[in-house]
Amino acid sequence: MRVRLTLEYDGTRYAGWQRQENALAVQQVVEEALSKLTGESISVTGASRTDAGVHALGQVAHFDTSSRIPPDKYAYALNTLLPPDIRVRSSARAADDFHARFSAVGKRYRYLIHASAHAGALNRLTHAHVIYPLDLAAMRAELPDLVGTRDFKAFAASGSCVKDTVRTVRSAEIFQEGGEFALFVEGNGFLYNMVRIIAGTLISVGAGRLAPGAFRRAMETKDRLDLGVTAPAHGLTLMQVFYEGDRL
Amino acid sequence: MRVRLTLEYDGTRYAGWQRQENALAVQQVVEEALSKLTGESISVTGASRTDAGVHALGQVAHFDTSSRIPPDKYAYALNTLLPPDIRVRSSARAADDFHARFSAVGKRYRYLIHASAHAGALNRLTHAHVIYPLDLAAMRAELPDLVGTRDFKAFAASGSCVKDTVRTVRSAEIFQEGGEFALFVEGNGFLYNMVRIIAGTLISVGAGRLAPGAFRRAMETKDRLDLGVTAPAHGLTLMQVFYEGDRL
């Protein structure tokens, strides 16, 4: 039976989602809990290979098992075995051909920024801190240039070897509350580091260090150097993964 | 010279604000940083003796020093010495008779609750988790009974020896977003554990485990047993301390 998990985690302690040789990854922790629970050797496939420090409120993963544990009970059972910074939000039976990564038709990310002379204590693990004020209107004015089906070649981490760099961004929004800014980006898929490059570019434009029209220019030149730096991992949260048949 | 600090901290690692024999308190960490900075032995007085696990976004403290460091520079200098879970938001010269605790004319607290079948990973250090749904309207209907100048005798932690239990609650509000609830209470002062007892009572009423009118009954009987349990410390955040002359 194939089972689908929706996972939440605080990425602070982890070397990202994907299992690694010399560092603890979320995938490994979940696999060990599942193996303990079922008595089988379980492999888990995640929708997104979130980087070290990146958080998730809605990572999706699947695994196969012969266990007779009812699929909706995995959430409860795993949460008794997992550390408190990894939680299963729900579990359900999935179709045999469901694949957490390849069946995904979209993802939604959040990037949080704290603009203030001093860093915060309570938000230090979820917000990127910048010491200068940011202009919400200037950042918001960039967003329409992101939305649509476009070649995001300039938005790929340097050294990336992905050939098809065309992606569809369905929505991009930014909100401010005091010194805290929340960026939400939703699309059919994202290049490696793409959301963090978008966030870093918006920070540069919002701080007046990069001229307005940065996204538009980079779409034309396809040059990574026309965009801002890659914003830190810990500001990023994978909010949701979408699949055909999900109620959007 | 007397200096006033506004402090933010994540209370998770600390045995509360007040210096203790065998556990690390926020006061001690701040005093050690100040002593290192000034070369003097500095005592810091906080507005509120927050308990172990309680957070602050707006704790206020004062200290006296002969150092010639400009008072507004303490925030920057201390933040280079303090651990990232304690931050100084601002520093300023205070009047010689300013006292962080005794000059305070009011405080504002926040209590965060996460009502969901499963605990959260990202909000686990700031939200009290309850596994049952809560009825916002039922909780909100209790709040007018808190506001005003009343005898909060029933709202004091058992064993408390405070004689005057009359306090003025200026406002009490609760908001919901999905499974997360945020309670804000502001008043001229609070008895020990009073906000956590208010939160625990609202949780009981919201879950249908305590009949409506709980606060009103407890005001009449003055009996602690007519209220809910004391909600956990880590849901509580000291938001702001008010002083005469502050712009409210």
What is the C-alpha separation between B130 and B118, in angstroms, rounded? 9
Task: Give the pLDDT score at B157.
Answer: 75
Q: How confident is the model at residue B248 (pLDDT cuts 50, 70, 90)?
A: very low
Amino acid at B180: E
What is the C-alpha separation between B245 and B217, in angstroms, rounded? 37
B19 CA to chain A: closest CA distance, Å?
20
A40 shares contact with chain B (CB less than 8 Å) = no
Q: Please tell me what DSSP assigns to residue B229.
A: P
Task: Give the pLDDT score at B183.
Answer: 98
Tell me which residues of chain B, numbers 192 to 221, contact chain A at a CB-CB cutoff of 8 Å. Answer: none
The residue that leads in pLDDT, A120 or B244, is A120
Comparing CA positions, the residue from B61, B70, B206, B201 lying closest to residue B131 is B206
Q: Do B57 and A122 touch (CB under 8 A)?
A: yes
Task: Give the pLDDT score at A247.
Answer: 55
Q: Do B122 and A75 touch (CB under 8 A)?
A: no
DSSP string for residues in chain A: -EEEEEEEE-GGGSS-SS--SSS--HHHHHHHHHHHHHSS----EES--PPTT-EEEEEEEEEE----S-GGGHHHHHHHHS-TTEEEEEEEEE-TT--TTTTEEEEEEEEEEEESSS--STTTTTSEEESS---HHHHHHHGGGTSEEEE-GGGSPTT---S--EEEEEEEEEEEETTEEEEEEEES---TTHHHHHHHHHHHHHTTSS-S-HHHHHHHH--GGGS-PPPPGGGEEEEEEEETTS--
A245 CA to chain B: closest CA distance, Å?
23
Q: Do B10 and A118 touch (CB under 8 A)?
A: no
B216 three-class SS? helix
Of A87, A89, A122, the CB nearest to B8: A122
Task: Give the pLDDT score at B155.
Answer: 94
Residue B149 has pLDDT above 80, yes or no: yes
What is the C-alpha separation between A71 and A65, in angstroms, rounded? 10
Q: Do A75 and B118 touch (CB under 8 A)?
A: yes
A78 CA to chain B: closest CA distance, Å?
11
What percentage of residues in chain A have a pLDDT greater than 70? Answer: 99
User: What residues have CB less than 8 Å from A53, skipping those under 6 apart?
Assistant: A11, A12, A14, A16, A232, A233, A234
Q: Do B122 and A89 touch (CB under 8 A)?
A: no
Q: Give ipTM to 2 decimals.
A: 0.90
Query: Is B51 marked active-site?
Result: yes
What is the C-alpha separation between A164 and B54, in angstroms, rounded? 50
- Segments in B55-159 forming alpha helices (H): 74-81, 136-142
* Shared fold status for A2-94 and A105-243: yes
* pLDDT single digits (tens) B201-242: 999 999 999 999 999 999 999 999 999 999 999 999 999 999
Task: Give the pLDDT score at B162.
Answer: 80
Q: What is the mean pLDDT of residues B15-31?
A: 96
Of B121, B122, B126, the CB nearest to A122: B126
Of B10, B51, B145, B226, the active-site residue reads B51
Q: What is the dihedral of CA B221, B226, B229, B231, to 10 degrees?
A: -60
Write the class of the CATH domain A105-243.
alpha beta
B124 shares contact with chain A (CB less than 8 Å) = yes
Q: Do A124 and B10 touch (CB under 8 A)?
A: yes
* pLDDT single digits (tens) B52-108: 999 999 999 999 999 999 999 999 999 999 999 999 999 999 999 999 999 999 999
A79 shares contact with chain B (CB less than 8 Å) = yes
**B131: closest chain A residue by CA:** A76
What percentage of residues in chain B have a pLDDT greater than 70? Answer: 99
Of A85, A89, A117, the CB nearest to B118: A89
Q: How big, in percent rounded to 5, are the helix, strand and coil portions of chain B?
A: 25, 30, 40
Note if the pTM is more than 0.90. Answer: yes
The list of chain A residues with pLDDT below 70 reads: 160, 247-248
Give the start-to-end residue ranges of the domains of chain A: 2-94, 105-243
A65 shares contact with chain B (CB less than 8 Å) = no
**A89: closest chain B residue by CA:** B118
Comparing CA positions, the residue from B191, B242, B236, B243 lying closest to residue B16 is B236
Task: Please report where in the chains the tokens 């702001």 appear, as a residue.
Answer: B240
Task: Give the pLDDT score at B161.
Answer: 75
Task: Give the pLDDT score at B24.
Answer: 97
CATH number for the domain formed by residue range(s) B2-94 = 3.30.70.580
Q: Do A88 and B118 touch (CB under 8 A)?
A: yes
Of A10, A51, A145, A226, the active-site residue reads A51
What is the C-alpha separation between B55 and B16, in angstroms, rounded? 9
